[in-house]
């Protein structure tokens, strides 16, 4: 279990490093998003939050349990901010992970945070850092792939209102109007 937990810590570390670096790369957009979310001192937070995410990424690699605990705290805070924005009808993209999405925040970002919090929960089970074996890498990679697929399906549903539509009126098996 320790190898799976540490492999999960490495995945979370990569996600937080990506998020922090992307926010630092475009601090103006980050500050604009933070302001739209109603956060105080958005310019200051546009520096502090990404630096915290980068420090968190390092902590997940070096001291996984401490990093996981900090990740849970940060993810709960991020999720509360997203839920508040959703409740207020904020029409701004998340700018999470450097995204330039025009679509406003949605339940998809909340679901992503839930998946990341679940991963942090797994990391809490980690002991000292240890190189994960192939079986742990495969298991964690499969979990990441399933989470990515579920997020993609949730985003498809958000954009289109459905995940799969079957149109039986066209195509080779469709009923034909004999009077046409």
Token readout for 136 is 């742990």
Share of the chain above pLDDT 90, in %: 67
Count CB neighbours of 151 within 10 A: 15
Model confidence over 1-22: pLDDT tens digits?
689 999 999 999 999 999 999 9
Nearest to 64 by CA among 130, 116, 6: 6
Model confidence over 63-88: pLDDT tens digits?
999 999 999 999 999 999 999 999 99
Please indicate whether residue 104 or residue 50 has the higher confidence score (pLDDT).
50
Given a cut of 70, whether residue 180 has pLDDT beyond it is: no
- Residue 95's pLDDT is what? 72
Given a cut of 60, whether residue 130 has pLDDT beyond it is: yes
Alpha helices in the chain (DSSP H): 2-25, 27-36, 42-62, 64-88, 107-123, 134-160
> How many Å is the maximal CA-CA distance in the chain?
74
* pTM across the whole model: 0.84
């Amino acid at each position: 279990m320790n190898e799976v937990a540490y492999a999960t810590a490495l995945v979370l570390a990569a996600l937080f490093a990506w998020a922090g670096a992307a926010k630092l790369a475009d601090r103006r957009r980050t500050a604009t998003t933070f302001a739209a979310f109603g956060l105080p001192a958005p310019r200051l937070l546009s520096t502090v939050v990404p630096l915290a995410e980068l420090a968190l990424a390092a902590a997940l690699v070096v001291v996984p349990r401490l990093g996981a605990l900090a990740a849970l705290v940060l993810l709960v805070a991020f999720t509360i901010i997203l839920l508040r924005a959703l409740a207020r009808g904020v029409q701004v993209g998340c700018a999470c992970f450097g995204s330039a999405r025009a679509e406003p925040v949605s339940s998809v970002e909340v679901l992503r945070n839930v998946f990341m919090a679940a991963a942090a929960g797994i990391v809490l089970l980690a002991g000292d850092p240890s190189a994960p074996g192939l079986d742990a890498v495969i298991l964690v990679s499969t979990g990441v792939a399933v989470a990515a697929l579920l997020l993609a399906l949730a985003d498809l549903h958000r954009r289109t209102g459905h995940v799969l539509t079957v149109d039986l009126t066209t195509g080779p098996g469709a009923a034909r109007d004999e009077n046409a």
